[in-house]
Structure 1
Amino acid sequence: MDLNEELRTADWRKASKSGSNGGDCIEVAPLSGGRVAIRDTERPGQVPFVVTASVWDAFLDGAKRGEFDF
């Protein structure tokens, strides 16, 4: 399956805690090869970012450690 087809049929999901913020959040979808697609919920038609498993893991690790907190 090519990437465009995989993105069209991807199982998009967003954080359960994002429901009360008016929809300003991102969605993620697992892809083949451990990759992860990321898109803006307000612009689902835009081409999503696709990152490798190691990039996604580094992002999650940073988020858990508070690296992106303001």
Structure 2
Amino acid sequence: MRSIVFIVLSAAALASCKPENSSDFTGSIDSCTRQLYSAYNPKDMKQCVAVCIACERGVTTTCSTSCTLKGAH
């Protein structure tokens, strides 16, 4: 009986979770990027890290790693 109650409560909790509105978040990053660089090149390591720090509130270490994984040089 406890397992059924746990499953029902877990399902209710998961159903109530609402994902963030990613379009608002993405839109704000895009406008921030345009304010920093009119011709933004995500493959340019310097630009990628600067945008990550300024627009995504990252730190140098994580932004550098993220940009490297995205293919920036």
Is the pair's TM-score, using the shorter chain for normalization, greater than 0.5?
no
Q: Which has the higher strand share?
A: 1
Q: Which has the higher helix share?
A: 2
Higher relative contact order (CA 8 A, sep 6+): 2
Structure number with bigger Rg:
2
